[in-house]
Structure 1
């Protein structure tokens, strides 16, 4: 089913490291609708806007940037203290150590629903998450229970969190969406290709260069979506602010005469027509032989996919 909801998000990603060569001890990133709008780290010691429309907003209100710069400095000290505390409580003796915090809010502009969150990860594992309804912490790991119990007693801090995630964060999100509307609400159709490394490899249906991220991609057989022998990847951000995603189909058990029963569908909220690629050897781009450039089939509106040589970039914002 095609997604029609429109959700906006303001997220803050903070990462504190110890014993990671060549990486700042602290990095902070702010995103609006998954687009990076601000950055700071322990080397530059200040916050920097990353979008022209964000820079114009800050020029009108310099205190806004000052708040972020102060928050950047404060977060360095807080997360460094948290790293040392968790090191002891989790009984870790060898590095490197990486503590990540992701917090912020989401706003559904159809329902008006507001959702706030604050969660921590340590060395790649989720360890703590804030329940805003009860104002208590959830500890999925037994080793983090002591930290949870300690943080649960910090009532003033918990109330500050509640005020920020329920009121201030959504207000700022509305402000950012308003000022960046022309950029954030742009719509870019993707380049879609069928890719295969070897004649026996999975066939990957890859879409890149689309915006916003309210999209879906899947394989069908005889017009029905399938999940068997299919593996879908996450939506990833490109350096230019657009997105990419892919879905793989294991064709090892598909008979040659049955290939025509399969197709890949890219659904895009805000566009009437889907982009549809038939599973056809002549449209597959390969590394093992002369392949086509993935012309694909026409969409339901009789429009052909426009090919853009968008560079595939698998780097994602640190979370």
Structure 2
């Protein structure tokens, strides 16, 4: 059975394993953050970004062609969603001003964030939802869907909790949205983007080094999706010291690449076999490459006068209310 599942993954054949799908919306309003829009909204399905809006472009847009299939059923969707985000931008401005007054703040950098969404198990049909706010990097208030009440982890959120707990009609609306409307949207997106959302590609992993004194780079390229990690291990334990991890970057073909550097200056020859570079893809699939001098591609001269090749890493419908 394990071999069958492995072959299904390598050949791109669905294994039939249950999936818990998610739809999440993130809103970020900020003040005095350099080179960053005052208001940003992104939507994600299964952690893949599908929509974007910001106060600079003032337009909500799809991030993938398949997301635009929604206009086949609703031709005015993007115009209507744009207008709603322009309205939400004003509400977030009001809420930031309310927060600043409650905390006796004046100027400076401040960030108000909202995340809401739902999950759906495509095997059991079980659904769940959540709605929460954060201010300046700290939890501010969140919805307890089971009790249909708001949780205030800080004193400044208590007035908001009392106000929103007393609005029974809005609580009923939020519960219906998170457990029904949101899930309906999620199912639509999963249907539209199944080929992209279910796609999983493992990368090729290489060991690269410019000179014998340079850090050793473990480079993984060609993987999809971008929900992945790359790290060094020693004796099966992940290393955190003498390691520098790079960002995940896009390739021209839609796949992704990333790298992680390891400082070899203190590494003894007899310990090389204890190290390995591990790529981990969301869902549990891994690629491991053990540290071996013979596998390193580099620019330095060899003893026979030749030159090993080093490959250069060139990279090409929800309402909000005031607090």
> Equivalent residues in 2 for 1:145-160 (5 A)?
145-160=158-173
The question of whether the paired residues in 1 share the 8 Å contact of 2:217 and 2:259 is answered with yes
Structure 1 pair 199–9 and aligned structure 2 pair: CA distance change class (3 A): farther
> Equivalent residues in 2 for 1:62-101 (5 A)?
62-101=75-114
> Equivalent residues in 2 for 1:109-258 (5 A)?
109-194=122-207, 205-212=218-225, 217=230, 219-221=232-234, 225-227=236-238, 229=240, 238=250, 242=255, 255-258=268-271
1:23 correspondence with 2:45: no
Any idea what SS the aligned residue of 1:17 has? strand
Structure 1 pair 178–194 and aligned structure 2 pair: CA distance change class (3 A): same
How many pairs align? 295
The question of whether the paired residues in 2 share the 8 Å contact of 1:209 and 1:238 is answered with no
Any idea what SS the aligned residue of 1:62 has? coil
* Structure 2 equivalent of residue 277 of structure 1: 289
From the CA coordinates, give the structure whose radius of gyration is larger. 2
> In 2, Cα distance between the equivalents of 1:93 and 1:258?
56
Structure 2 segments unaligned to the other structure (5+ residues): 1-5, 10-16, 302-306, 317-323
* Structure 2 equivalent of residue 299 of structure 1: none
Greater displacement, 127-136 / 262-271: 262-271
> In 2, Cα distance between the equivalents of 1:69 and 1:161?
21
Deviations 1:50-102 (A, max 9, x none): 22112233144224334422431231122112111111112212222221112
> Equivalent residues in 2 for 1:282-301 (5 A)?
283=295, 293=310
Any idea what SS the aligned residue of 1:40 has? strand
Q: What displacement does 1:119 show?
A: 1.9
> In 2, Cα distance between the equivalents of 1:198 and 1:84?
55
> In 1, Cα distance between the equivalents of 2:297 and 2:139?
38
Q: What displacement does 1:251 show?
A: 6.3
Greater displacement, 192-201 / 154-163: 192-201
What is the TM-score of this pair, normalised by structure 2?
0.72
Q: CA RMSD in A?
A: 4.0
> In 1, Cα distance between the equivalents of 2:43 and 2:201?
23
* Structure 1 equivalent of residue 319 of structure 2: none
> In 1, Cα distance between the equivalents of 2:209 and 2:166?
55
Deviations 1:20-64 (A, max 9, x none): 344332221222223332222334444222221122331442243
The question of whether the paired residues in 1 share the 8 Å contact of 2:43 and 2:52 is answered with yes
Any idea what SS the aligned residue of 1:23 has? coil
Structure 1 pair 157–11 and aligned structure 2 pair: CA distance change class (3 A): same
* Structure 2 equivalent of residue 305 of structure 1: none
Q: What displacement does 1:239 show?
A: 8.0
* Structure 2 equivalent of residue 311 of structure 1: 315
* Structure 1 equivalent of residue 14 of structure 2: none
> In 2, Cα distance between the equivalents of 1:239 and 1:147?
45
> In 1, Cα distance between the equivalents of 2:279 and 2:228?
7
Any idea what SS the aligned residue of 1:99 has? strand
The question of whether the paired residues in 2 share the 8 Å contact of 1:139 and 1:148 is answered with yes
What is the TM-score of this pair, normalised by structure 1?
0.73
Structure 1 pair 186–144 and aligned structure 2 pair: CA distance change class (3 A): same
User: Residue 107 of structure 1: which of 107, 120, 132 is its match?
Assistant: 120
